[in-house]
Amino acid sequence: MLRALAPLDIRPPFGRYSHGIAVPAGARLVFCSGQLGVAPDDAVPATVEAQAERCFRNIAAILKEAGLGLGD
């Protein structure tokens, strides 16, 4: 069974989708939706570098919720 991933430490999706989907054990796949450089409070960092950093923090949070990390 697929498991929707919705970490509480990133902004909720704008639409009716999940930030990520974890595939059942044995497959170890996680699919992440496209991420924006937006903080949980809807703040948008001032620089493109900070926005990119926020995107990767969001991806790391999705992976963490699935029991994975950026190194996996």
pTM of this prediction?
A: 0.69
Taking the domains of the chain in order of start, what are their residue ranges?
3-65
Domain 3-65: assigned CATH number: 3.30.1330.40
Cβ atoms < 10 Å from Cβ of 11: 17
Burial class (CB in 10 A: 0-12, 13-18, 19+), 65: buried
pLDDT in tens, 23-39: 887 877 788 888 889 99
pLDDT in tens, 39-67: 989 999 999 999 999 999 999 999 999 89
Cα separations in angstroms, 48 against 4, 8, 19, 44, 51: 29, 24, 21, 10, 5
Measured distance CA(57)–CA(32) in Å, rounded: 13
